[in-house]
Amino acid sequence: MTDDAPPVPANDLRTSLERYLRHLSDRGLSDNTLEAYRRDLERYVGYLTSVGRTSPAEIVGPDVEAFVDAARAGADGRRPLSESSAARLVAAVRGWHRFLARHGVSVDDTTWSVRAPAQPRRLPKAISIEEVDRLLDAAGQGDGPLPARDRALLELLYSTGARISEVVGLDLRDVDRTERRAAVRLAAGNAKQRVAPLGRRAVRALDDYLTDSRPLLTAGSPGTDRLALFLNTRGARLSRQSAWAVLRSAAHRAGLIDADGISPHTLRHSFATHMLARGADVRVVQELLGHASITTTQLYATSQDDELREAYAAAHPHAR
């Protein structure tokens, strides 16, 4: 479907909505995203119908603002929305109205004055250095080729602060274990690459895995992925879900508090928090993490400031 296709009848909200959803599907949006848009926009159409609107041409700006307010408060008879859900809803409504205006179904985009609610900035969670050590030690316990693989996987995550998708996507050629310049080449989802140094412990763990364990995972597996760095028991590339399971299992064996809440991003957050706590410049950490904006990285510095204030308040005799 192209943007210059003839417009749908202007007197049919449901038909207009279905055409927009087909347009999104043609653009390759995931099934989950499409379903979320459908839920939000069907809620919107239900509200419009309840206030007497029967076609897109009848919708005016105050209708949109009133709907967003009603949805956030649950005044439309549905469950109230969180800030993040309300922001998603506003994005869905805006997208549909832009589509309608572009195809001449409505006179103009009536959502220009509607602002998405500001979302609270959540500070990242991290675990202590001692807990990281326990986690990594637990990953390497056991017999067979998997403990060495699991230890190398988690050591690499913590050593580089990489995203789990970046690590499971690594090929053998992306890793340089040369002494004094050991590094790994990481590629984010937008194909932008960066090089992250590897610490000695990560290099040792990779050496153990590549020397002793990976050959066992490739033995007798005709479907072996010869390029992938991390393999599963069938010789195929380790998946994100399996990597999550490795981390969760190690967290339980290490006896970490809230082991079920430990995720690959926990190690990424811990990497950044520990680097800043030991004096790393925030712009260096930004580059290592691959953040496009330094504002994102500064959340970790804010977290450090909060910890310092708490420590000061607890220890200084004149703090209170």
Q: Is residue 21 part of a domain?
A: yes
**86 and 135 assigned to the same domain:** no
Rounded mean pLDDT for each run of 10 residues along the chain, 320 residues in total: 44 83 83 86 90 84 82 81 78 84 66 52 74 95 94 95 91 92 80 84 96 90 84 92 94 90 88 85 80 62 51 52
Residues belonging to the active site: 163, 265, 268, 291, 300
**133 and 95 assigned to the same domain:** no
- Coil, helix or strand at residue 101: helix
Q: What pLDDT shows up at residue 58?
A: 84
Q: Which residues contact 183 (CB under 8 A, 6 or more apart)?
A: 175, 176, 195, 196, 197, 198
CATH code for position 85? 1.10.150.130
CA angle 199, 204, 205 (to 5 degrees): 100
Among candidate residues 265, 295, 310, the one where a domain is terminated: 265
Q: What pLDDT shows up at residue 15?
A: 87
Range of the domain at 58: 13-102
Q: Is residue 164 part of a domain?
A: yes
Q: What pLDDT shows up at residue 289?
A: 80
Model confidence pLDDT, tens digit, residues 252-285: 999 998 888 898 888 988 998 888 888 888 788 7
Q: Is residue 7 part of a domain?
A: no
Q: Is residue 157 part of a domain?
A: yes
Q: What pLDDT shows up at residue 89?
A: 82
Q: What pLDDT shows up at residue 124?
A: 55
Domains in the chain, number? 2
- 229 near 155, Cβ under 8 Å? no
Among candidate residues 239, 265, 291, the one where a domain is terminated: 265
Q: Is residue 271 part of a domain?
A: no
Residue type, 146: L
Instruction: State how far the Cα of 254 lies from the Cα of 138, in Å rounded to an integer.
Output: 5
**139 and 47 assigned to the same domain:** no
Q: Is residue 290 part of a domain?
A: no
CATH code for position 174? 1.10.443.10
- 172 near 162, Cβ under 8 Å? no
**24 and 68 assigned to the same domain:** yes
**98 and 184 assigned to the same domain:** no
Q: Is residue 179 part of a domain?
A: yes
Among candidate residues 265, 283, 309, the one where a domain is terminated: 265
The DSSP output letter for 62 is H
Q: Is residue 236 part of a domain?
A: yes
